[in-house]
Structure 1
Amino acid sequence: MQNLYVQKSQLSGTLHLPASKSHTMRALLFATLAEGTSVIHNPLPSPDTEAMIMACQQLGAKITHANNQLTVIGTSGNLKKPQSTIDAGNSGQVLRFIACLAGLQPGRVDITGDHSICHSRPVKPLLSALNQLGLTAQSIHKNNHPPISIQGSFTSSHAELDGSDSQPVSGLLMAAAFRDQITTHLTVSNPGETPWVLLTIDWLQRLGFTVEQSNFHQYAITGKKTIPAFNYTVPSDISAMAFPLVAALITQSTLTLSNIDLNDPQGDKAILDIVQRMGAQLTIDAEQKTVTTHPSPSLHGITIDINHCIDTLPILSVLGCFAQGTTQITGATIARFKESNRIEAMHTELSKMGADITVTDDGLIIRPTPLRAANVDSHHDHRIAMACAVAGLALSEQSVIKDTDCIAKSFPNFAQSFKQINANISLV
C-alpha cells in the first residue's frame, strides 16, 4: 500500500493525459465481437483494462498486448461459455457490460468482483432488464448485489429499466447490437449520466449500426451477427483532465494540458464550462487540442448539476473550497454507488482539512473557509485519492493521502506526471 505526500506547489509546463478508460473498454468489447483481427493502439494500462481483457478472453477472444497496442482476434459474434467465474475486479463496466453480453451465448455465466463491487454496486435494475429479455439473471446471494449469474439466451425484444446509472443502458445497447436481425427496444426511466450513453451510441454508429433514441427514454436498435475488425487509437481521457486542471486553478498556475479532443463525446469535458462559469481563465485551442490555465484569483461558487458529468464530484468539491461564496453540487445521487460513496467520502476527507461542507440528499454544499493540511484516506477510490491530492497542492504544510494504489485504475503514473509539471508530490 502506497501513500501520496503533497504540499504547496506552483505548477508549470505541459501535461499529457492518459488514455481513455471508457474508450479502451468499449474497443475491447467490440473487437471481441468482431470478425477478424482488430488492433487497439494506445490502450489505457489499468487494472480495469486487465479485468476486461481476461473477461473477453474467457468469452473466446484471443488477445495479445505488446508495443502499446492490443491485438484482438474476435469471435465473429460467436461467444463461448466461460469455463470459470469472470472476475470484474473493481470495474463496474466489466460487471455490467459482460453481464449483458452473456445473453449472446447460451451457457451460464457467473460474474463476481472485489469487495467494492460486491457491496457497493447494486444490480437490481440490470438483472430485471435481462430477465425481461428472456434470460435467467440473479444475484447469487439474493441481495441485489454481485456475484451474479446469467443463464440462457435473449428471447424477448423489449425491456424497461431505471437509467440512473448509464452502464446498464450502454451494456444492453451493445448486446442488442449483436442480436442478428432482431430489433430490441429499451424503455428507460430516470435517465442519468447521458453523455456516457451517447459515447456508446457514437461507437455503435461508427461501427455501422443505426440507433434510434427519444430523449434518452426510448431506444431501438437492430442487430447484426458480427462486424468487421477495425484499427482504433484510444484518445486521451477527458475525465483525467479535471485533476491537473483544478490543481492549476487553485495554485494560480499557468499549465497546458495537451491532446484534448473536444469533439470526443466524453461527458466530463463539461468541466471546462463549469470552471469558466466559476471564473476560471482558460485558453482553449480546439485545433491544437490544448487547454491552458491562467491565474484566476476571482473564482466564485455556483450551483452545479453534475448528473451529466458525475465523476467530477470529488474534484469539483475541492474547487468549491477555494471559491468565494457558496458552491452547491446537485444531481449526484448515483455518486453514492461508485467505487465508494463519493458524497460521504468527500465530506469526510475535506472536513479533515477544515472544509465547511454539508451533505444533501443529492450532493454537497461547500462554503469558503481556509483549508489545512491533513492525513486523509482514499476510500480505495481513484477519484477520491486524486481529488484529495490536488487539494493538498494548495496547502503550505504536507498532506498525506493514504492507500493510493487505486489511482492506477484511471491515471497510471499520476505522481510522476504531476512531478513533471513541478508538483511537490511523492509516492512512498
Structure 2
Amino acid sequence: MTEIPAHTSLWPAPHASGPVFATVHVPGSKSVTNRALVLAALAAEPGWLRRPLRSRDTLLMAASLRAMGVGIEEGVGPDGSGEAWRVIPSGLRGPATVDVGNAGTVMRFLPPVAALADGPVRFDGDPRSYERPLNGVIDALRVLGARIDDDSRGSLPMTVHGSGALDGGRVEIDASSSSQFVSALLLSAPRFNQGVEVRHVGGPLPSMPHIRMTVDMLRTVGAQVDTPESGGEPNVWRVTSGALLGRDLTVEPDLSNAQPFLAAALVTGGKVIVPDWPERTTQPGDRLREIFTLMGGSCELTEQGLEFTGSGSVHGIDVDLSEVGELTPGIAAVAALADSPSTLRGVAHLRLHETDRLAALTKEINELGGDVTETADGLHIRPRRLHGGTFHTYDDHRMATAGAIIGLAVPGVEIENVGTTAKTLPDFPDLWAGMLGN
C-alpha cells in the first residue's frame, strides 16, 4: 500500500504518456453505506451490510453509532462472500460523543438519531465542520420536540439531549443549502411517534438524487414514504411511524468516485472499465455517462461493467449540475483541458461544501495557467494551455482527484495533501497508479 503523505506533503500527479487502458474496481458508495448504517441501527432486528465502504466518513459513522450503543461487527457475510458488517440494533443511549470529522452525512444524519437516545450526545468535529450549515436540522428537531444546546450558532459543536423518543409531526425547513437536511429527518422518521412531514420552503433544492436515494432505501427496509414523485405535494415528504426491517444489503460501487477514472479515459483517449456498474441506481454519479459522453467520450454497459472510451478529443459543455453538484470538481478539471469553453451552472451551494469549491477550483486552475471565472451559481471555464505547479486541496477529497485529472495531461502538477482522498476513496494513490500500470 502506498504510504499516505503527511498533510503538507506534495504528491507528484502521474502524467500519462499515452492513452489509459485499465479496469478499475471502485470501492462502495459512501452515500449508500452511511444511509444503510443509520437505517440498520434503527431497525427492529439485526441486518447485514455487504461490501461497505471503509473510509474516513464511513468509519466515523460506524464509530458514532457504536458510541450510542449500536453493535457493528466487522467480518465476512453469512455465506463467506466477502467483507460485511453485522449491525445489531440496541437501545440508543448516552452520554456519548460523536466525532463528525468533516462528514456532512455524519453531522446531519445523526442528530435525529441522538434525539432518540436515552441521554446526552455531544457532537464535535474538524474546524471546517463548524462552518458548515446545520441550522436546518437543528431548527427542525426543536420543532419536532428535541432539546439541543448549540449556543444559538446553528452549527457545531452542540449537544443533543436525547429523551429516548421524539414526537415528530410536521415541520418546515429551508434545505436549499443542503439536501442532507431533508434526508436526515426522513431516515429517522419511522422511529418518531408521529412519523414526519417535511416541507421544503426555500430556494431550489440541490442534489435531488440523494433524496431519492434516501427514499428508495427507506422503502427497502419497510418504511412507508409519500413523495412528490409518487403523487404527493411538491417539496413535501411524509414518512409513517413504524418498525424497520433488518436487511441483507449489498453496497453499490461509488459512481461519483468512478469519476476520475472515467475522466482518465476521456482526457487520454483511452478506455476504462468499471465493474459492477448498476443498471438502475439513485446515485448521482450515474449522470457521468451522459455528461462525459457529451464531452467527447462514449460508453456501454456490458457484462464486464461500464466501458467508457475517450475519442481523443475533449469538448466543452454547458450543463446544469444542480442535482449532481459533487461531480463539479472533476467536470471542471476536464473542462480546463477541453477544446472549447464550458459553463457549469446550478451549483452555488458548493460554496458550503467541504470547502468553498467554486472559489477553490477557480484559484487552483488559474494558478496553473487556466482561465476560470466564478458566476453567481457556478463557473465559466475557457481552456488555455496549462503548466505545472502545486494544486491545493483544502482538505477536500474531490479537489485532490480533480488535480490528479489535470496532472494526467499536464506534467509537473503536484497535489498537496492527496491523503484527504481517504475521506471517501481509500488508497486513491494506489488505484491511480494501478490504472496507469505503475
TM-score after normalising by structure 2: 0.90
1:214 matched residue in structure 2:
228
User: Structure 2 CA distance, aligned partners of 1:171 and 1:136?
Assistant: 17
Alpha-carbon separation, structure 2, partners of 1:84 and 1:111: 9
Distance in 1 between the 2:182 and 2:23 partners?
Answer: 37
Q: State the secondary structure of the residue aligned to 1:36.
A: coil
Q: Distance in 2 between matches of 1:39 and 1:204?
A: 15
Give the match's secondary structure for 1:16. coil
Superposed CA offset, 1:208-247 (max 9, x none):
11211126501111011x3232212111000111111112
Q: Deviations over 1:167-207 (max 9, x none)?
A: 11001001112225x24211113322110000000001111
Query: Matches of residues 4-403 of structure 1 in structure 2 within 5 Å?
Result: 4-9=11-16, 10=18, 11-67=20-76, 68-75=83-90, 78-80=91-93, 82-119=94-131, 121-140=132-151, 142-151=152-161, 152=163, 153-164=165-176, 165-180=178-193, 182-189=194-201, 190=203, 191-214=205-228, 217-224=235-242, 226-278=243-295, 280-285=296-301, 288-297=304-313, 299-395=314-410, 397-403=411-417
Aligned sequence identity (%): 28
Per-residue CA deviations over 1:121-171 (Å, capped at 9, x if unaligned) read: 11112211111112223424x332201222354234111111221111001
Q: Which moved more, 1:7-16 or 1:284-293?
A: 284-293
Two-structure CA RMSD over aligned residues (Å): 1.7
Which residue identity lines up with residue 148 of structure 1 in the other structure? M
Give the secondary-structure state (helix, strand or coil) at the position aligned to 2:226. Answer: strand
- With over 3 angstroms needed to count, the CA separation of the structure-2 counterparts of 1:263 and 1:327, relative to structure 1, is same
Contact 1:37–1:73 (Cα < 8 Å) also in 2: yes
Amino acid at match of 1:364: L
Quote the Cα distance in structure 1 between the aligned partners of 2:421 and 2:405: 13
User: C-alpha offsets along residues 64-106 of structure 1, whole Å, 9 cap, x if unaligned?
Assistant: 223422121112xx422x2232111121111110012122235
Q: 1:364 Cα deviation (Å)? A: 0.7
Query: Contact (CA 8 Å) 1:358, 1:365: kept in 2 or not?
Result: yes
8 A Cα contact 1:393 1:423, kept in partner: no
Q: Which deviates further from its counterpart, 282-291 or 335-344? A: 282-291
Equivalent pair of 2:273/2:305 in contact (CA under 8 Å): no
Counterparts of 2:373 and 2:362 in 1: how far apart (Å)? 7
Contact 1:24-1:49 within 8 A present in 2 as well: yes
Structure 1: distance between partners of 2:304 and 2:123? 43
1:226-282 per-position Cα deviation (integer Å, ceiling 9, x unaligned): 32322121110001111111122112222222221131110121122112222x222
Indicate the residue corresponding to 2:79 in structure 1. none
Question: 1:260–1:291: 8 Å Cα contact kept in structure 2?
Answer: no
Give the whole-Å Cα distance in 2 for the aligned partners of 1:294 and 1:246.
Answer: 9
Return the alpha-carbon distance in structure 2 between the equivalents of residues 404 and 205 of structure 1. Answer: 37
The whole-number CA distance in structure 1 between the counterparts of 2:437 and 2:400 is 16
Distance in 2 (alpha carbons) for counterparts of 1:288 and 1:423? 20
How many Å separate the matches in 1 of 2:14 and 2:65?
Answer: 42
Q: CA–CA distance in 1 between the matches of 2:395 and 2:88?
A: 34
Q: Which consecutive unaligned segments of at least 5 residues does structure 1 have?
A: none
Check whether the contact 2:125–2:156 (CA below 8 A) recurs between aligned residues. yes
Q: Pick closer, same or farther for the CA change 1:214–1:283 going to 2, 3 Å.
A: closer
Q: Is the 8 A contact 1:249 1:295 kept in 2?
A: yes
Q: Secondary structure at the match of 1:357?
A: strand
Structure 2 counterpart of 1:28, which letter? Answer: L
SS at match of 2:391: strand
Answer yes or no: is the 8 Å Cα contact 2:227–2:236 preserved in 1: yes
Cα distance in structure 2, aligned partners of 1:13 and 1:85: 43
Q: Which amino acid aligns with 1:281?
A: G
- Asked whether the 8 Å contact 1:5–1:400 carries over to 2, the reply is yes
- Preserved CA contact (<8 Å) 2:42 2:188: no
What's the offset of the Cα at 1:13? 1.9
SS in 1 for 2:388: coil
Q: 1:207 to 1:84 in 2, by over 3 A?
A: closer
Provide, for residues 97-119 of structure 1, a one-character-per-residue CA deviation record: whole Å limited to 9, x for no partner. 00121222353322111111112
Q: Which amino acid aligns with 1:143?
A: R
Instruction: Report the AA paired with residue 264 of structure 1.
Output: T
Structure 1 SS opposite 2:323: helix
TM-score, length-normalised on structure 1? 0.92
Distance 1:150 1:87 in 2: 13
Confirm or deny: 8 A CA contact 1:261 1:286 kept in the other structure: no
* Whole-angstrom CA distance in 1 between matches of 2:227 and 2:167: 22
8 Å contact kept, 2:43–2:246: yes
For each residue in 1:311-365, what CA deviation from the matched residue of structure 2 results, as whole angstroms up to 9, or x when unmatched? Answer: 0111111111122222011111111111111111111111111111001121110
5+ long unaligned stretches in structure 2: 1-5, 77-82
Contact 2:223 2:244 in 1 (8 A): no
